[in-house]
Structure 1
Amino acid sequence: MAEYSDLSVLIVDPNPGMRGSLHNMLNQAGITKIDYAVSSGTAIRQLGKKPFDIVLCEYDLGNGSGENNGQDGQQLLEDLRLHKLILPSTIFIMLTSEGVYSKVIGAAELTPTDYVLKPFTVDALLQRIRKAVERRDVFLPIHQLVEMGSIRKAVAECLIAEEKNPRYAIDFARLRAELLVTLEELAEAEVVYQVILMTRPIAWAHLGMARCQFGQQKYIEAQDTLQDLLTHNPKFMAAYDLLARTHEALGQQESAKKILEDAVAISPNMVHRLRHLGEVAYETGDVGVAEKAFKQVVAKAKYSEFRDPEDHVKLVKTLVKKGDANQASGVIRDMERSLRASANVEACRAIAAGLLQEMSGNITAAAAELTTAVNAIGASRGLSTGLKIGLVHSCLNVKLDQQASDLMLNLMNDTESGVSMDDAVQVFEKAGRHDLAAGMGEQIKHHVEELIAHAAEQRGQGDLRAAVDTLNAALRKAPANMSLLPAATSAILKQLDDLGWEVPLAEQCAFLLERMRKIDPAHPSLEALQAQYSHTQRKYGIATTA
């Protein structure tokens, strides 16, 4: 089997005898590029250094020292997929006993490429590898296009491959739909799923269609699709997650909590779902369920290389709401003792300590801790927007007005935060601080005026693309600002007229015109901008409905 000599394999198994046995089996297939990991942590470190074609992973990993208290193979796979440490083309084969397999397969969350049941022969293992490699090679050209960022070309190639490879036609259609979702072409992706379902009632196609419906804010349709899916596939776990989010989108928090509780009862080990359950339970005031969920998150993530200190903050917040100062103190001590020092950990520790001090009535001590948290946030990376907005509220509670305003301004200026200027004003309004909201509004107005003036300068100098980029950056901060919308629309129209028709830009222009129409149908610039858009369409021979 010389054709496999170039394959690289990572064996993840705490048992040295099993690692040696797998090594010998692979050698018989001509595979010699073999590395080892004795636990989930060492596997993650190995995969962080270089990619592997195949990962052979024991389900029951322990922690690499013979103790059964680490991550299992399914939790490792969750981390690897979530943090994109393995490519879509990586072959991940789980090695497990028949008894364990029967427990996990019904509620499998992130399915590996294949399962191999122990004990197995050399021929059985190599047959599974051969099958997986053959399938990978068929899909590899498209995966390579995706890795290069050529998503639209990959979509076109999927369509061709469906015709050329009837054996994998449905798999290529599925990949095509997923890539269309990546391109945010949800209506087109939904049609692909519908066509698949006309031939076979496949569970993942129902889920894909529901995701497209959810993304298009067709929440009732998504609910119906998911409820039908779960009626016929009551252990299709991802459907529970999306159904819960659908209920949340409709303001049905209690229903979302019940759905997540049902899902956790079926499949209790997925950290992301437990975290979601804790968050929804906290929002609905069910402190008992929130406490239990967050405790499980902290415990299950203990052996992960990707422990998130925010989980400790959520647990402390819940315990503070419960009035349990002793347990909250214990969680903070655990955070200090067990997490590696970093700006993220220091920010989370200080936030948690500030919550505890505020609960105890020590406002001065709380303010000191929260000031420390604000300073640490400046050096942190990757902390969630939700955590930072929570810190804004905590600062307001202890009269740290300047820190709260500075934090909110930083969030507005961070394009990754998703916080618009309107959102920032609303945070202060909801906190009952109309004075700070008004001050923030004035700062926002001044900032928007500066950006519009800067874009006008760029446009006057003939740099039309730069002007559009400046105004787009401003729109991300103030998407409904009625000084900004006409300026951005006008700049886009000027670029289209002078530099040529670009479909994505033209679609954005139409979207901005529609947004203006919804906000202020009598706006004095709207009619002229619409006429200019139609004129530019005709200039380039674009069909219009006018």
Structure 2
Amino acid sequence: MADFSQKRFLVIDDQPLARDALRTIAQTVGAFAVEFASNYQDAIYRIRNNTPDIILCDYVLGEGRSGQQLLEELRRFNLLPDECIFMMVTGEQAYEQVVSAVELVPDDYIIKPFSPDKLLLRLERIVAKKNFFAAYYKEKRQQEYARALAILNAQRDSEAGRPYRFEILRQEAEVQLASGDAEAAEASYRNILDNYEFPWARAGVARSLHKQNRLTEARDEIERVVAGTPHFFDASDIKANICMAQGEHAEAQKVLDEVSKKTPRNYLRKRLLAEAATLNGDMETARAALADVVANDTMPGAVTTEDRLSLARSHIDKGDKISAEKVLVGLRDSEIMVLGLDGQASFAALLAISSVDKGKPRFAGLRPALLASELEPATRLDVMRAALSLTDNDLADRHAEHLMASPDAKKVFSAIRSQYALHGRENDFREIQRQVALKRIHHDDVPAAGPG
């Protein structure tokens, strides 16, 4: 039997009587140290400063927040070690439908009212599971993916691993995806689906196919999930990302508009909505979404310099260069200097567009690096736009050509075309298209080299 006297408990509930009842039950099963959190922000503060061993969290936290949102936020910022037990407490019998769909699941859930004996039974079962996976958790945390997979492979075939069969397969798939082996991850998820139709596994197949750039197949898989489990909001995010990769920006924005209204405090989703709206040409929606992120994503460190660059970009897209310049000059030099080349290039490019006098010297100083380095698609778009505005056509054309030849070509095609049209260079854009197509044809026609 597990000893809970040395475990630190955190009870999260917005109702004082409910908190007291949960503390009493926790003490009955042997808990000595039991702390309280009365709301969402209080819970995050306490967990961030001193992670408990066991969290008992009510599903309804007030102010439009839920325990599921809290769990997702904790995982987003890596504030919840795998060894920590997170148990959802709910009065909703229908919660089982929610937890069966979502990807980020609690360790367990328990429906009110419940007895100390029932809680004890659940906690002992979770402790046994945590102990079983302890060695795997350690290797995964250190990103030693090969070792993590080796442990899972050995456990999968063991007698002790039988109760955790699906969890082992799920963890295998997640590690394979994290390590970049999307084909193996797809196979692992399909292995799960051969036995049981978990929505999160179907979504995992879609994510794996997306990583392989098999967009039509990925879209088919995620459509099944969205249609079958409408409360699985992460599936809508996956669908939106796939739609953007296919160049269907209006559909991506429509999907995210709908789900964002149901989850107004999910700021990762708001960022994705801004991206989709930008690609769709809906600059006002993008700007509003990013302003909401910068103003209200209150987790310490959540709003990044990249978020502020995105807000400045949305002002430029809307034609409001004054507001864009205000955001950019509000960034400290120390914030800019810690950015990688992509971030510094985007900052210089956006500043050059919004304020030529302030931005052009910095942008010109980066030009050699911008010609020689690999950059992210969003950065290439920023550099291309700044180069077009400064009539540096050689630099603009190089980045446009890179983008048109990349796997992101469908995603960024309309953005490139509109910028070249804005600067009266439609014919040059068509010539870049033609040259990229010719190179692709030539590459496809070159026979594979045989043995020497």
TM-score (norm 1): 0.62
Q: Distance in 2 between matches of 1:422 and 1:41?
A: 38
Amino acid at match of 2:234: A
1:381 is displaced (CA, Å) by 6.4
For 1:44, the equivalent position in structure 2 comes to 44
Structure 2 vs 1, CA of residues 231 and 44 (structure 1 numbering), >3 Å: closer, same or farther?
closer
Percent identity over the alignment is: 26
Structure 2 vs 1, CA of residues 269 and 372 (structure 1 numbering), >3 Å: closer, same or farther?
closer
Alignment: residue pair count: 406
1:263 and 2:230 are equivalent in the alignment: no
Structure 2 vs 1, CA of residues 180 and 286 (structure 1 numbering), >3 Å: closer, same or farther?
same
User: RMSD of aligned C-alpha atoms?
Assistant: 4.3
- Counterpart among 214, 221, 225 of residue 225 in structure 1: 221
Matches within 5 A, 1:186-201: 186-201=182-197
Amino acid at match of 2:144: S
Q: Distance in 2 between matches of 1:235 and 1:273?
A: 15
Which protein is bigger by CA-based radius of gyration? Answer: 1
For 2:231, the equivalent position in structure 1 comes to 235
1:129 is displaced (CA, Å) by 1.8
1:520 is displaced (CA, Å) by 12
1:155 and 2:113 are equivalent in the alignment: no
Matches within 5 A, 1:18-97: 18-62=18-62, 68=63, 71-97=65-91
Structure 2 vs 1, CA of residues 266 and 50 (structure 1 numbering), >3 Å: closer, same or farther?
closer
Structure 2 vs 1, CA of residues 390 and 113 (structure 1 numbering), >3 Å: closer, same or farther?
same
Structure 2 vs 1, CA of residues 193 and 426 (structure 1 numbering), >3 Å: closer, same or farther?
same
Structure 2 vs 1, CA of residues 422 and 107 (structure 1 numbering), >3 Å: closer, same or farther?
closer
The range that moved more, 200-209 or 422-431, is 422-431
Q: Distance in 2 between matches of 1:241 and 1:370?
A: 29
Structure 2 vs 1, CA of residues 122 and 180 (structure 1 numbering), >3 Å: closer, same or farther?
same
Deviations 1:431-458 (A, max 9, x none): 45316839x99xxxxxxxxxxxxxxxxx
For 1:355, the equivalent position in structure 2 comes to 322
For 1:512, the equivalent position in structure 2 comes to none
1:214 is displaced (CA, Å) by 0.9
Matches within 5 A, 1:163-174: 163-164=157-158, 165-174=161-170
Structure 2 vs 1, CA of residues 376 and 3 (structure 1 numbering), >3 Å: closer, same or farther?
closer
1:133 is displaced (CA, Å) by 2.0
Asked whether the 8 Å contact 2:260–2:269 carries over to 1, the reply is yes
Q: What SS does structure 2 have at the residue aligned with 1:98? A: coil
Asked whether the 8 Å contact 1:113–1:132 carries over to 2, the reply is yes
Q: What SS does structure 2 have at the residue aligned with 1:52? A: coil
Structure 2 vs 1, CA of residues 115 and 230 (structure 1 numbering), >3 Å: closer, same or farther?
same
Q: Distance in 1 between matches of 2:288 and 2:103?
A: 21
Amino acid at match of 1:41: Q
1:27 is displaced (CA, Å) by 2.4
Asked whether the 8 Å contact 2:136–2:151 carries over to 1, the reply is yes
Asked whether the 8 Å contact 1:8–1:31 carries over to 2, the reply is yes
Q: Distance in 1 between matches of 2:75 and 2:90?
A: 20
1:209 is displaced (CA, Å) by 1.6
Asked whether the 8 Å contact 2:101–2:198 carries over to 1, the reply is no
1:308 and 2:303 are equivalent in the alignment: yes
Q: What SS does structure 2 have at the residue aligned with 1:55? A: strand
Q: Distance in 1 between matches of 2:327 and 2:287?
A: 23
Q: Distance in 1 between matches of 2:238 and 2:281?
A: 22
Matches within 5 A, 1:92-491: 92-98=86-92, 101=95, 108=102, 110-164=104-158, 165-264=161-260, 267-287=263-283, 289-290=285-286, 293-294=289-290, 297=293, 301-302=297-298, 304-308=299-303, 355-356=322-323, 366=325, 370-371=328-329, 373=331, 375=333, 377-378=335-336, 389=346, 392-399=349-356, 400-406=359-365, 418=376, 426=384, 428-431=386-389, 433-434=391-392, 437=395
1:80 is displaced (CA, Å) by 0.8
Q: Distance in 1 between matches of 2:371 and 2:35?
A: 46
1:84 is displaced (CA, Å) by 0.4
Structure 2 spans left out of the alignment, 5+ residues: 400-405, 407-439
Deviations 1:124-160 (A, max 9, x none): 3323322322222222222122234432122122122
